Structure 1
Amino acid sequence: MLLSALLLAQSATTPPPLVVTASRLPPPTSAVRIEGPELDSAGSVAAVLAGVPQLFVAQAGGRSGFAAPTLDGADPNFVLVLFDGVPINNATSSRGGAVNLAEIAGFGLAGIELLPAQLSAVHGSGALAGVLALNPRGPTERPALTVRAGVMTQGGQTLGAALSGPLGGGWGATLTGQSDDDGSPTPLTRFEAHTALLRVARGDSGHRLLLRFNAVESAGFPDASGGALLARRRLAEQRRAREWLGAVRTRQALGPGLVLDLNASWLNRRDTIDSPGVAGGASNPAGLPASLDTTRYDRLLGQASLAWTGGTTQFAAGIEGGHERGRSAGQLDFGGFALPTAYRLDRRSWAGFVELASRIGAVSGSAALRVDRIGDLKARLSGRIAATAVLGRGWRLESAAGTSFKAASFYALANPLVGNPALRPETGRRADLTLIWQQAGTRVRLGGFVARYEDLIDFVFQPAPALVNRGRVAVDGLSASLAQQLGPVGFDLAVQHVWPRDRAGGPDLLLRPRWRANAALRWQASPRLVVNLRAGQVGARDDESVPGGRQRLAPYVLAAADARWQATERLAVRLAADNLLDAGWQDAAGFPAPPLRLRLLADVTL
């Protein structure tokens, strides 16, 4: 949530030796990193990322809405989300595989890493815009128990606990549990989540076991209904989700500089959506029928890789295999009769990859190449190259270029209302150039990118709701940021401009603000008290609803503040105010933003 925490974390000049955000090899230092106590106090990952100018998270109606991340003007499902290195995007999601970041609590996370880049050469299908890595806390050296309790206006509350410590033989474990109730900040909305996470690891050896369960109950106006301001059918859509994630990893040293990595994971998700439908409007007189839909998604992944380090050179190669299964059953209710709906899809995949990184003097570079075969699709070859040059006097230049692709999701191919089995895979190309200057508490960053996408899968309302391939879409962008630390005060300024457009002459893409600007101030008022102020501006953007048709949403300014007081060695208290100006913007057409909201959190460490 805090740009100050983000940019101070960015100031580290030495990246960790192994980071899953971009590669099995070290990432560029321009990757966005968010760490610190602010991370797990924001409520959800969506709230944490609100201060990142490259990322626009549209969240209709507060936390009950689907918080889809739009990175650098690309589609939300072009962001691959990793939880402890395991992808959690699922092919039955109604957003084409996008992850709802509002479902994921910040409590229990040690850090977030974001790398805007085309990374199919590393991760395969889906990483056309970038990778978002969520890293849970590791075990502590001594037994520790942290208990959290919090209340908020509009009826919200939270309760959590984290137990961590050694198990013996170099092993340790962290067990985290949390229950969130977001209350009802906007009409007809409701959100409750219950999360449990167990992570067992053996020091820095690379051995780990991960088990995670997340249960969500939510309600709100359906998508495209026009929300509380425009909807003609004033009934809430009821949603229920259950998600299980299990993963194991082991790392073995085979010789000098040679390491074998073995990974396996299982993701299971069940969703039930009971929708009242959407009343017709001028753009779609028939509207959307009431529906009941239950989906189940299972994915098994396995990977084996070898990594070798010799001096300033690193090399990695490996293979990966996976199996996806999607099931859906439900009905469409047209008033006089109900039409049963169902689909069953299975998809197997395999991949092989190689990566190389080396440094010669002040210049370092890396390259990656990967071939993927998914289902009945033809084999896809993805590549990426990157280079960093240290120019001296605090200056550094980073550049990268890559190609990516994404296979159509099960939802896009087979949904009975809008699915299209003829959809082609989406493809992309992107090049980045970043200039960074850093000295004595000051960091300046100037960057730009050029991205081209083909066969972009998009939703259209006319003549009937459907998913179609767009021919050619271009997104270009420029960004600048400044981070400055002056004694106890740190401030950050950042701005981004993106220019998304359909080169085939189609209408503008929805929910793509061209301008984003953010500012943050962090004041260490005393050794025990920290005060943060944040403000962000989101530019105008298009959206569409059935009753209101296509419309231009006005720009808005979002302000927030919080103070963290370390009352005693064991007690920390945080008071936060969200939407400090009580502004009434719309993240989606007809969905009003939650009003001014106060949150009080207390953490007790035993």
Structure 2
Amino acid sequence: MLLATLLLAQSAAVAPPLVVTASRLRPLASAIRIESDQLDASGSIAAAAAGVPNLFIAQPGGRSGFAAATLDGADPNFTLVLFDGVPINNATSSRGGAVNLAEIGSFGLASLDLLPAQLSAVHGSGALAGVLAITPRGPAERLELTAQAGGISRGGHTLAAGLSGPIGGGWGASLTGQIDDDGTPTPLARFVARTAVLRLVRGDGADRLLLRVNDIDAAGFPDASGGALLAERRIAEQRRAREYLAAVRTRQQLGDGLALDLNASWLGRSDSIASPGVAGAASNPAGLPASTDATCYDRLLGQASLAWTAGTAQIAAGIEGSNERGRATGELDFGFFTLPTAYRLDRGAWAGFAEVAAQAGAVSGSGAVRVDRFGSLKARISGRIAAAAELGHGWRLEASAGSSFKAPSFYALANPLVGNPALRPESGQRGDAALIWQQEGTRLRLGGFVARYRDLIDFVFQPAPALVNRGRVAVDGVAASLVQNLGDLQLDLAVQHIWPRDRAGGPDLLLRPRWRANAAVRWQAAERLAINLRAGHVGARDDESVPGGRQRLSPYVQVAADARWQATDALAIRLAADNLIDAEWQDAAGFPAPPLRLRLLASVRL
């Protein structure tokens, strides 16, 4: 795991052309950032983000499992994931719209930014817990070729190449391709990803074009099957996915301090799953039937906004429209008969939004409001306020509060096995506060949050597998982090404790560890040699499977290390070890974590 370095988001003099965190205007809150070098050491977004104490990411079966990010104890689908500013959550996902972070490789990425907060007032449906923003590297100033090749113990490998540079007319381009094969880290597991990204950027990034294709072939034990330790049916579930993303953005200066931003994107995804089902057990005699599913999802999204800057004040307002289509066909196989399954859902949405930000001396503040209308649902109003104050002597105080909502996903509404067309939209309110001290190579952060959720959509096994609304869920948390630079050494420490609970008296939420702690040491051992050591603690958490019922999973400590040697100006070699101490734990009930794995990677930049 990697521990993200906490960086202070700097105030901008003008409105930025791309929304990546909390505002179209002046960002006031500290973002958690993972830099490109840390991403390269991890191999995937999921592995890199797993070192952030705010996030809990379980990966049953390694990268073959669905790596959903539980942010600050909220549901995984409460985190909005942006790729180059474009949402990639989709409404046919079996996790209610959550993104499988294991599918996203790290090659060609500049940074990963995380801002935990209620952000529906900025981004609309889905940002109840926060935003995870993935930023690709910009085009190089001169023509540049990069290539990577590496091997992973237990049969895996990675190959990647990129071409970047200017193409004339003030434009730059980058083209990257990557193949990741995770081998067989656990029984029946298989994961292969093929990714290509083309990105055109002009000037300071105000004009952009993005094209991305991601092809996934994976296999493993089905969810709730009990995995390699408990499952009775030792047959792998086969999964295939292909995702397309196209986006265009432009910014036009209309006058002194006035700018028009236009954004449009298309997200298309197809998934096919052939599952052997799950054998029945005492807690659920029927088990889960064998099934086949083929789903298709399309979303068109367009946005227009005006931003005006006058001195230290800024105002932005705009409109947004989208159209989603979901299609599914398949069948349930009960052994003695098969039941065809299908659904077709379309949903249009519109939104209007406005933001204002101002600064007076050492104090800055912002406010945002947004109105969303999804299909036939009632219009929802989301709001957010934020403030920051420089207290002197390196101290800074940040605070924010907001309300958010999420429309039910197509999967939750219409899946033939567990779907529930009567589900209500989820909603939440959250407040955050943090005190930060930064001076002379030291950064200390103390913070906390209070979050309340209503109508949270949750999966239950009894009396029959189904998705239901929970009435009231509360999650409170406190956290502390320290970054200390000691010359050639950098020390990062972080800890978080949360209190998730169902205020209506229901059972505890699954996979919510109350304690997370991380420590990382970076040592620049020589001019061309850097060594990193990372350790993370994950507390006990509940999970449930058909054969094992509800059970308490034991806490664990994971240790990882990597060393990067810059052999020449063009060649770098990295050796990394995951689960260095070969610890044993369960990522989910019955799913053992991968044992010690070594990765050797060579990178060339010409």
Deviation, 1:13, is: 5.1
What amino acid is aligned across from residue 74 of structure 1 in structure 2?
A
Residues in 1 aligned to 2:381 and 2:149: alpha-carbon distance in whole angstroms: 49
Aligned to 2:560: 560
- Which stretch shows the higher mean deviation, 13-22 or 311-320? 13-22
Would you say the 8 A contact 2:521–2:534 is kept in 1?
yes
Q: Which residue of 1 aligns with 2:443?
A: 443
Q: 2:44 maps to what in 1?
A: 44
2:554 matches 1:551: no
**1:306–1:318 Cα contact (<8 Å) kept:** yes
Equivalence for 1:310 = 310
In structure 1, give the amino acid aligned to 2:218: S
Residue 296 (structure 2) aligns with: 296
Any idea what SS the aligned residue of 1:37 has?
helix
Instruction: Give the alignment of 1:108-507 within 5 angstroms.
Output: 108-507=108-507
* AA in 1 matched with 2:448: G
| 2:590 equivalent in structure 1 | 590
Q: TM-score, normalised by structure 2?
A: 0.98
Shift of 1:61: 1.1
1:290-312 C-alpha deviation (Å, 9 max, x unpaired): 00000000000000000111111
AA matched with 1:587 = D
The residue identity in structure 1 corresponding to 2:55 is L
Q: CA deviation at 1:11?
A: 5.3
Change (3 A) 1:258 1:14: closer
> Aligned equivalents of 1:178 and 1:152: distance in 2?
15
Distance 1:325 1:223 in 2: 26
Deviation at 1:41, TM superposition (A): 3.3
Q: Given that residues 357 and 364 in structure 1 are in contact (C-alpha distance below 8 angstroms), is that contact kept between their aligned partners in structure 2?
A: yes
Asked if 1:79 corresponds to 2:86, the answer is no
Residue of structure 2 equivalent to 1:99: 99
Aligned partner letter, 2:372: D
Aligned match of 1:522 = 522
Relative to structure 1, the CA distance from residue 84 to residue 13 in structure 2 (aligned partners, 3 Å threshold; closer, same or farther) is closer
Instruction: State the 1:108 CA deviation.
Output: 1.0
Cα gap change, 1:12 to 1:83, in 2 (>3 Å): closer
Conserved 8 A contact 2:522-2:532: yes
- What is the SS of the residue equivalent to 1:463? coil
C-alpha contact (below 8 Å) 1:260/1:304 kept by paired residues: yes
> Cα offset for 1:137?
1.1
Mark the CA change 1:40 to 1:401 in structure 2 (over 3 Å): closer, same or farther: same
2:177 maps to amino acid: G
Alignment match, 1:580: 580
Query: Aligned partner of 1:255: which letter?
Result: G
1:14 Cα offset (Å)? 5.2
Shift of 1:597: 0.3
Secondary structure of the corresponding residue to residue 559 of structure 1:
strand
CA distance in 1, matches of 2:457, 2:521: 40
Is the Cα–Cα contact under 8 Å of residues 11 and 27 in structure 2 kept in the other structure? no
What is the CA–CA distance in structure 1 between the aligned matches of 2:513 and 2:38, rounded to whole Å? 26
CA distance in 2, matches of 1:36, 1:599: 17
Q: Percent identity?
A: 76
Whether the 8 Å CA contact 1:117–1:430 is kept in 2: the answer is yes
2:549 partner amino acid: G
- 1:10–1:29 CA contact under 8 A, matched in 2: no
- Amino acid paired to 1:71: L
Deviations 1:520-543 (A, max 9, x none): 000011110100000000000000
Q: Deviations over 1:3-49 (max 9, x none)?
A: 2xx32x61575569624222211323411111132213311100011
User: Aligned partner of 1:225: which letter?
Assistant: S
What is the CA-CA distance between 1:369 and the residue it aligns to? Answer: 0.2
Secondary structure of 1:462 counterpart: coil
- The whole-number CA distance in structure 2 between the counterparts of 1:585 and 1:255 is 59
Is contact 1:15–1:29 with CA below 8 Å preserved after alignment? no
Q: Distance in 2 between matches of 1:205 and 1:564?
A: 31
Q: Deviations over 1:114-133 (max 9, x none)?
A: 00000000011000000000
Match of 2:67 in 1: 67
Aligned match of 1:10:
7
Q: Which amino acid aligns with 2:363?
A: V
Distance (Å, rounded) in 2 between the aligned partners of 1:444 and 1:15: 23
Do the aligned residues in 2 keep the contact of 1:205 with 1:251 (CA within 8 Å)? no
SS at match of 1:51: coil
CA displacement, residues 584-604 of structure 1 (integer Å, 9 cap, x when unaligned): 110100000000000000001
Q: Which residue identity does 2:356 align to in structure 1?
A: L
The one-letter code of the counterpart of 2:25 is: L
State the alpha-carbon separation in 2 of the partners of residues 251 and 98 from structure 1: 30
Q: Is the 8 A contact 1:163 1:176 kept in 2?
A: yes
Letter in 1 for 2:319: I
1:107 partner letter: F
User: What do the CA deviations read for 1:203-231 (whole angstroms, capped 9, x no partner)?
Assistant: 21510100000000000000000000000
Report the aligned-residue RMSD. Answer: 1.0
Equivalent-residue separation in structure 1 for 2:56 and 2:525 (angstroms): 31
Distance 1:25 1:380 in 2: 23
Matched residues in 1 for 2:20 and 2:76: separation?
Answer: 20
TM-score normalised by structure 1 residue count: 0.98
Contact 2:245–2:267 under 8 Å retained in 1: yes
Q: Which deviations, in whole Å up to 9, do the C-alpha atoms of 1:43-91 show, x marking residues without a partner?
A: 1100011110000011111110000000000000000000011000000
Q: Aligned equivalents of 1:331 and 1:577: distance in 2?
A: 42
2:97 is aligned with what amino acid? Answer: G
Q: SS at the partner of 1:56?
A: strand
Alignment: residue pair count: 603
8 Å Cα contact 2:430-2:449 kept in structure 1: yes
CA distance in 1, matches of 2:21, 2:137: 16
* Aligned partners of 2:201 and 2:208 also within 8 Å: yes
Preserved CA contact (<8 Å) 2:2 2:47: no
The answer to which of 217-226 and 33-42 deviates more is: 33-42
Amino acid at match of 1:462: Q
Unaligned 5+ segments in structure 1 are none
Distance in 2 of aligned mates of 1:403 and 1:369: 10
CA drift at 1:515: 0.3
